[in-house]
């Protein structure tokens, strides 16, 4: 039923252009996980996923890691019905662990203007971790307002509004197993 619904979404909605298939996403995640596992082989690591968009990416990524990790979550306010960031980012729910002295990787769904991730990294750094790196599913660079380079990037696009695999438009499409560009 769910499969049929998902097929009909892609078939009957011509404005959804495929960007990454399930298989392509998994391939890229395997290679990212290999890189992270090698980089933190002799270190403790805490992954902090940004809700809600990164929930699927995190769950696939952690299952490919070959090192022990701790996991936490942080939730930031979203665009609401709009499709662009206003720079006024609020923390809806903060992390529950003490990150002092720890190696952190923030797991984020997408970096667009760069405002959200810049503010989040500054917030985490103020809590005294050993270091903070960023792993992002989609690096979308055309609208960047603050220079920001993620340490681990699953896929890069120039522009578009992407949905699926955790990414939403007004809370819809997060459950799609692949990533699409939603044409308006």
70-76 vs 91-93, strand pairing mode: antiparallel
Identify the residue among 32, 45, 49, 114 touching ligand IMP (CB under 6 A): 114
Mapped onto helix, strand or coil, the DSSP state of residue 27 is: helix
Binding residues among 66-95 for ligand IMP as defined by CB under 6 A: 85
**Sheet with 131-140: strands ordered across:** 91-93, 70-76, 45-51, 103-111, 131-140, 152-157
60 an active-site residue? no
Which residue from 20, 99, 134, 167 is in contact with ligand IMP, where contact means CB under 6 A?
167
Residue 61: which H helix or E strand, with range? helix 55-62
Minimum CB–partner distance for residue 109 and Mg ion (Å)? 5
- Which residue in 110, 86, 98 sits closest to 174, CA to CA? 110
* Partner that binds at residue 179, options Mg ion, ligand IMP, none, CB closer than 5 to 8 Å by kind: none
User: CA-CA-CA-CA torsion for 113, 138, 62, 78, nearest 10 degrees?
Assistant: 40
CA distance 136 to 149: 10
Q: Is there binding between residue 115 and ligand IMP (CB under 6 A)?
A: yes
Closer of 33 and 164 to ligand IMP (Cβ): 164
Catalytic residue among 72, 83, 98, 112: 112
State the minimum distance, in angstroms, from the CB of residue 26 to ligand IMP. Answer: 20
Catalytic positions, written as ranges: 112
- In the complex, the residues that contact Mg ion under the rule CB under 5 A are 53, 109
- In the complex, the residues that contact ligand IMP under the rule CB under 6 A are 53, 85, 108-117, 140, 161-162, 167-168
């Amino acid at each position: 039923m769910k499969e049929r619904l998902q097929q009909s979404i892609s078939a009957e909605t011509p404005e959804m252009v495929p960007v990454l298939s399930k298989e392509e996403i998994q391939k890229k995640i395997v290679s990212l996980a290999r890189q992270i596992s090698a980089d933190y082989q002799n270190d403790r690591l805490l992954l902090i996923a940004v809700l809600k968009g990164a929930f699927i990416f995190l769950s696939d990524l952690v299952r490919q890691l070959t090192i022990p990790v701790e996991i936490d979550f942080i939730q930031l306010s979203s665009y609401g019905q709009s499709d662009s960031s206003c720079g006024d980012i609020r923390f809806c729910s903060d992390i529950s662990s003490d990150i002092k002295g720890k190696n952190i990787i923030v797991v984020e769904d997408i970096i667009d203007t760069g405002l959200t991730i810049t503010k989040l990294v500054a917030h985490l750094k103020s809590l005294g971790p050993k270091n903070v790196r960023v792993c992002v599913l989609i690096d979308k660079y055309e609208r960047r307002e603050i220079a920001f380079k993620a340490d681990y990037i699953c896929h890069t696009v120039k522009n578009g509004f992407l949905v699926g695999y955790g990414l939403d438009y007004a809370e819809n499409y997060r459950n799609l197993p692949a990533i699409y560009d939603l044409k308006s």
